[in-house]
Structure formats: structure tokens, C-alpha cells
A = this chain, B = another copy of it.
Amino acid sequence: EEGAGPETIRPLVVPLHAADLADLLERLTKDERLSVVHALGEELDSDVFAYLDDTVQETITDALPNSVLSTFVQDLDSDDVVDFLEDMDEEDQKEILSFVPAEDRALYEQALSYPEYTAGRLMRRETVTIPEFWTVGQTIDFMRDSDGEGGSDLPDDFYNIIVVSPNHKPVGLVQLSKLLRTKRIVPVSAIMETDPKLIPVDLDQEDAAFLFRQYGLVEAPVIDESGRLVGVLTIDDIVDVMDEEHEDDMLKLGGVSEDDFYSDFLKTTRLRFSWLLVNLGTAIVASLVIALFETALSKVVALAVLMPIVASMGGNAGTQTLTVAVRALATNELTTRNALRILTKEVLVGSANGILFAIIMGIVAWLWFSDPVLGGVIATAMILNLMIAGLSGVLIPLAIEKIGQDPAIASTVFLTTITDVVGFFVFLGLASVVLM
């Protein structure tokens, strides 16, 4: 396929949906990707950029002149433009925007001025608004007119009409499905949903996603500090946010700082290195604890054989608790109000499983090394480590959240450090006292 020319590529790729073309581009190597983009030329659907992974998008935008990129910008919806521009450096942003008509440019510049990860960055700026005193008939006539000669002022698709006060504050929402089934003479105020959920423009995108999920919203008006309507958040943007947030939680729990699936080998190595370095530090700490008991280890080699079991069981039990706690924090189900109850439960669960595995492992160690005292030592260490694991699994993410950080990011490394240190210390310490 090395030699496939533009005439071969174009007819295969042009009929694809933008989302599918984006997937295709993501799966190609960098060179193949650029041949497809060049083969398409101006036929490249701008919407593709709304679906592309950021790393992949960068390889394409880096290869195209800013004058070409600016033509894509002019085809995109305002929320997708912001998404397209926000990852570029400021110089490129400026140059691309310099090709764009002045009024649009001001719009995009304002959108980019909102902090990243807020509703302001995500929202669509085109809104459909009507005054409160209109009737259903007036509203429908207005919509038919605004789609006339002057080109469509209305967004491509929307689900509600926003009823605004004279000073442009949202006072209600009219569902299109309700508008359509209502007689022309009825005033919109009679069918509008009053007291709609409003999203402050500086609200964190994660909190906005929470509101959408909590109340089953598909669209919500966004307001500025003075309560005036500035845009609309729609469910498709929120679905992307949910996806990102989830990816984030999952990757961070796995010790991956950002999605590196499409990053090249060098960048991936660099991204993963720092986390592994932290882990090396904690592993050395655990080894220092082991080194405290060199005498015991050199006399009873069974201790070296069994000690990883105590640490591993603590790490796994703690990870179970941690995972449930991080998830519950992300969904606002774990709060300071019920923290004590959850903590108590997790310590109880840890103790109960600790006792069960103490019995199992105590017997295994006794039979394996024909030493009932060794069985007793590992049993005791097991109970203690699993209790501490349950305790740490709740307390660590709560503490990280309390200081304003993402509990997913460093929880795992703290937890396993604690369960390793406690596991080795209790098991080897007790053995030194009892067996020597």
C-alpha cells in the first residue's frame, strides 16, 4: 500500500463519516496519515478534528500550513473550534485566527479566554432565545424566518428553546417536543419548564458532567457572573468529558499520567519513567525495612520465602478498598458525612478477610515448614496488614481529595508503600521476637 496515490485513496475515504475517518487516521502510521490528508486536500471534512485524538491531531496540524488550518476553523461549530485550537501554541493560534473574519475571531478569542476544563470552553455560543411573552405560533414563525435567506442563524441541531428576560437572563426552557404538540395560541410561558438547571460559565467540566448525569439533561444554558446567558452546553460534549474523566481515573490508578496510546516510543518511555521512579523509591523504602531484619532472615530462610505473601495480600486488599473509594469519590457518593461509616465498614471487612486468610495461610505455613510458631507469626501479620489496608484504602484517597488533588493519581503508590512496609515490618519483627 506504500505506493497508493491520491486517486486511489480519495474515493475510498471521501464517503466515510467524520468519526470513522478519524478512527482510520488514528490507526495509520504517521506517514500514511499524511498521505491520506494530502490526497483529500480541501475535501477533508473539518469535522474530523472534532473526533481526533489530540496526539494524532498534532501530527496532522504540524504538517499543514496555518492558512489551510484556518479554512477548517471556518467550517467548524464554535465549540469544536475551541477544541481544535486549544492544544496549539499561542503563536499558531494567533496566525490561524488572523485568517478568520474579525467577528468570528473575537468570539473564539473570548472562548479561549475561559480557563481550561470549564463550561466556558465546552459550550456552544450560538443560542436560540425568545422573550417570555411570545406564543407558540410566534416562536415557530420566528424559527422559520431565521432559517430563511439570511443564512441559518440557528445551530445545526438543538433540543430546547431558551426563554430569556429582557436583560437576557434565562427564565425557562421550552422542549421542542412540547412546542410541537401545543396549539399556536398558547403562550410559551404556559409550557416552559421554569427553574431550569443553569451552568455557571466557570464551572469545572467535571461538575457540569455531574449535573447532566444527575438530572438526565441533554442541554443546559450557561450563564456568566451576572446571570446572563452566554452559551449552551450539550450532552455530546458532556459525553466526551465523562469519557475523559473516566480515562483519567483509570489511567492514573494504573500509574499512567496521560493517555500515551498514540504517543511514540520515546515520549511514552519518558511519561512512564517518572512514575516508575517514584515506585522505585517506595520499593527501596520497603527493602530498608527488610534490611532491619537481616539476622532473622539469614537464620530462618522461610521468612524470605513467605514475606512477599503478607505484603502482596495487603496490597491487593488495600487496592480493592481504594478502587471502590476512588470511584465513590468521583461520583460524589463518598463524602465527609459518610466517611466514618465507610471507614468502619472497610476496617471490618479487612479484619474479617484478615482472619480468614490468617487461618488459611497459618495452616499452609505450618504444614510447609513444619513449624506452628511460624504459622502463628504469618497469621498475626496477615490480620494486621489487612486491617491497615482497609483503613489506608479509605483514608489515603480522602486525604488527597481534602488537599485538593485528584485522589486517583498518587493513591496506589502510597497504599502499596504502607502495605509493604507494614507487611514486612510486622511479619519479620514478630518473627525476630518469637523465633530467635
User: Considering the chains assembled together, what is the distance between the CA atoms of A335 and B23 in angstroms?
Assistant: 12
User: Across the two chains, which residue of chain B brings its CB closest to A268?
Assistant: B349
Query: For residue A405, which residues in chain B have a CB less than 8 angstroms away from its CB?
Result: none
Q: Looking at the complex, which of A64-72, A94-102, A141-149 is the stretch in contact with chain B? A: A141-149
The one of B144, B261, B306 that contacts A183, using a Cβ cutoff of 8 Å? B144
Is A4 part of the binding interface, using a Cβ–Cβ cutoff of 8 Å? Answer: no
CB atoms of A283 and B309 under 8 A apart? yes
Is A432 part of the binding interface, using a Cβ–Cβ cutoff of 8 Å? Answer: no
Please, what's the 1-or-0 string for A16-56, where 1 marks a CB less than 8 Å from any CB in chain B? 01011001001101000000000000000000000000000
Is A205 part of the binding interface, using a Cβ–Cβ cutoff of 8 Å? Answer: no
27 contacts between A and B (CB under 8 A): A17-B215, A23-B332, A143-B181, A154-B177, A155-B177, A156-B177, A157-B177, A176-B176, A212-B239, A218-B235, A218-B236, A242-B242, A254-B320, A254-B324, A256-B320, A265-B345, A269-B349, A273-B353, A279-B313, A280-B357, A283-B313, A286-B308, A290-B305, A291-B305, A297-B297, A297-B304, A308-B420
The one of B176, B254, B261 that contacts A177, using a Cβ cutoff of 8 Å? B176
User: Considering the chains assembled together, what is the distance between the CA atoms of A306 and B212 in angstroms?
Assistant: 50
User: Across the two chains, which residue of chain B brings its CB closest to A176?
Assistant: B176
Is A379 part of the binding interface, using a Cβ–Cβ cutoff of 8 Å? Answer: no
User: Across the two chains, which residue of chain B brings its CB closest to A338?
Assistant: B27
CB atoms of A176 and B147 under 8 A apart? no
Q: How far is the CB of A383 from chain B (nearest CB, A)?
A: 13
Is A179 part of the binding interface, using a Cβ–Cβ cutoff of 8 Å? Answer: yes
User: Across the two chains, which residue of chain B brings its CB closest to A319?
Assistant: B254
Q: How far is the CB of A62 from chain B (nearest CB, A)?
A: 20
User: Across the two chains, which residue of chain B brings its CB closest to A360?
Assistant: B280
Query: For residue A182, which residues in chain B have a CB less than 8 angstroms away from its CB?
Result: 144, 147
Q: How far is the CB of A239 from chain B (nearest CB, A)?
A: 6
| Residues in chain A within 8 A of chain B (CB atoms) | 17, 19-20, 23, 26-27, 29, 140, 143-144, 146-147, 152, 154-159, 175-183, 212-216, 218, 235-236, 239, 242-243, 246-247, 249-251, 253-256, 259-261, 264-266, 268-269, 272-273, 275-276, 279-280, 283-284, 286-287, 290-291, 294, 297-298, 301, 303-309, 311-313, 316-317, 319-320, 322-324, 326-328, 332-335, 337-338, 341-342, 345, 348-349, 352-353, 356-357, 360-361, 364, 416, 420
Q: How far is the CB of A238 from chain B (nearest CB, A)?
A: 8
Q: A143-B181, A180-B179, A301-B298 are in contact. Are A287 and B275 (CB under 8 A)?
A: no
CB atoms of B317 and A276 under 8 A apart? yes
Query: For residue A337, which residues in chain B have a CB less than 8 angstroms away from its CB?
Result: 27
CB atoms of B283 and A180 under 8 A apart? no
- Secondary structure type dominating chain A contacts: helix
Query: For residue A341, which residues in chain B have a CB less than 8 angstroms away from its CB?
Result: 29
Q: A147-B182, A276-B316, A312-B416 are in contact. List 19 more A-B contacts (CB 8 A).
A: A19-B216, A140-B180, A154-B177, A155-B177, A159-B218, A179-B180, A218-B235, A235-B235, A246-B250, A254-B324, A256-B320, A273-B353, A273-B356, A279-B313, A279-B316, A280-B361, A283-B308, A297-B297, A297-B305
User: Across the two chains, which residue of chain B brings its CB closest to A197?
Assistant: B17
Q: How far is the CB of A348 from chain B (nearest CB, A)?
A: 5
Query: For residue A304, which residues in chain B have a CB less than 8 angstroms away from its CB?
Result: 290, 297, 303-304, 307
Q: How far is the CB of A333 from chain B (nearest CB, A)?
A: 6
The one of B253, B283, B284 that contacts A253, using a Cβ cutoff of 8 Å? B253
User: Considering the chains assembled together, what is the distance between the CA atoms of A253 and B146 in angstroms?
Assistant: 52
A-B CB proximity, top 4 nearest? A254-B323, A304-B304, A176-B176, A147-B181
CB atoms of A272 and B144 under 8 A apart? no
Query: For residue A342, which residues in chain B have a CB less than 8 angstroms away from its CB?
Result: 261
CB atoms of A301 and B312 under 8 A apart? no
Q: A180-B176, A242-B242, A348-B265 are in contact. Are A327 and B251 (CB under 8 A)?
A: yes
Q: A260-B324, A349-B272 are in contact. Are A215 and B177 (CB under 8 A)?
A: no
